[in-house]
């Protein structure tokens, strides 16, 4: 074999080895991050998107909070075995009810916190009811009113909640998760809301996520959006990870089992 061929073979081997080492290093880093996050207490705060409404298999002791065995906090804790795990997220929670009713789960040993909050502060359920039952004008007016709350009153409410979280868990990594866009525009739906209503609701989700991201950054927390994970799985996509109007009605517009495991869990895990 010529010197040139030997050198080419060695070069190919070296590149492959370096690539393998790089992939191994990435895997080790991911494992180390998970181990670090689990080496302490994990507390899951928030509203129905964290409690797992829509994903079924509700824990018997959770009552109307409807904490699901399929919710992303439960899935992450089962996979990573944190030193302690407090799952206190509750359906219907607002920033103020999280602050008054859930922060007692935090303490100095808490090393990881997740939270979704803000949707109920701006009247998410009322907006969807107006859009489903009312006219297009009623829907868009309701969406606009919610956006006004996002821009005016919600930032201060989030600041207060985030300050309470930091006071309760001084050393914890805090992850604020966002909300998905609900609709794939020009999708497969042939009935229901108009395209203008769907676009307005999607825009409201974007505005809400922007407010959450800004307040989280100012608090020194990590924001993780879920829009990318849910892209292709919105309502009208043909493969929705969100319930449309359904029975039981409280499942409506909440993530399915797949939305929790394929949407929220990867978004949470990606920033740890």
Q: What is the separation of C-alpha 182 from the centre of its chain, rounded to a whole number of angstroms?
A: 13
| 44 & 11 share domain | no
| 135 & 224 share domain | yes
| 129 & 235 share domain | yes
Residue 251 known to be catalytic? no
Long-range contacts (CB closer than 8 Å, 24 or more residues apart) made by 58-61: 59/87
| 118 & 248 share domain | yes
Q: What is the CATH number of the domain that holds 230?
A: 3.40.50.1110
Across the chain, what does the average pLDDT equal? 90
Give per-residue pLDDT as tens, 153-189: 999 999 999 999 999 999 999 999 999 999 999 999 9
| 34 & 44 share domain | no
Q: What is the pTM of this model?
A: 0.87
Catalytic residue selected from 48, 50, 51, 205: 48
Domain count, the chain: 2
Catalytic residue selected from 2, 96, 254, 270: 254
| 4 & 120 share domain | no
| 27 & 120 share domain | no
| 10 & 118 share domain | no
Q: Which domain, by its residues, includes 3? A: 1-38
Whether residue 33 contacts residue 272, with contact meaning beta carbons closer than 8 Å, is answered with yes
Give per-residue pLDDT as tens, 196-240: 999 999 999 999 999 999 999 999 999 999 999 999 999 999 999
pLDDT confidence of 79, banded at 50, 70, 90? very high
| 89 & 62 share domain | yes
| 66 & 5 share domain | no
| 105 & 213 share domain | yes
| Length reported for the chain | 272
| 33 & 43 share domain | no
For the record, the structure tokens of 63 come out as: 């009552």
Residue 243 known to be catalytic? no
pLDDT at residue 37, as a whole number: 63
Whether residue 199 contacts residue 215, with contact meaning beta carbons closer than 8 Å, is answered with no
Phi, psi of 200 (to 5 degrees): -65, -40
């Amino acid at each position: 074999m010529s010197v040139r061929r030997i050198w080419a073979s060695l070069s190919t081997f070296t590149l492959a080895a370096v690539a393998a080492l790089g992939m191994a290093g990435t895997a080790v880093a991911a494992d180390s991050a998970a181990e670090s996050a689990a080496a302490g207490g994990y507390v899951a705060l928030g509203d129905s998107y964290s409690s797992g409404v829509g994903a079924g298999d509700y824990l018997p002791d959770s009552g109307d909070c409807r904490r699901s065995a399929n919710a992303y906090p439960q899935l992450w804790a089962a996979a990573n075995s944190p030193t302690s795990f407090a799952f206190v997220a509750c359906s219907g929670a607002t920033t103020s009810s999280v602050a008054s009713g859930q922060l007692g789960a935090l303490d100095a040993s808490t090393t990881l916190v997740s939270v979704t909050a803000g949707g109920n502060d701006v009247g998410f359920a009322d907006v969807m009811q107006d859009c489903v039952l009312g006219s297009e004008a009623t829907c868009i007016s309701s969406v606009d009113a919610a956006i006004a709350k996002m821009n005016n009153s919600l930032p201060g409410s989030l600041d207060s909640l985030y300050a309470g979280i930091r006071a309760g868990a001084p050393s914890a990594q805090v992850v604020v998760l966002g909300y998905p866009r609900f609709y794939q525009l020009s999708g497969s739906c042939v009935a229901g809301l108009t395209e203008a209503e769907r676009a307005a609701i999607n825009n409201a989700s974007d505005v809400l996520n922007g407010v959450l991201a800004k307040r989280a950054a100012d608090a020194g927390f990590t924001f993780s959006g879920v829009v990318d994970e849910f892209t292709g799985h919105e309502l009208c996509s043909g493969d929705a990870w969100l319930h449309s109007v359904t029975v039981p009605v409280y499942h409506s517009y909440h993530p399915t089992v797949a939305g929790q495991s394929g949407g929220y869990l990867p978004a949470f895990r990606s920033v740890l």
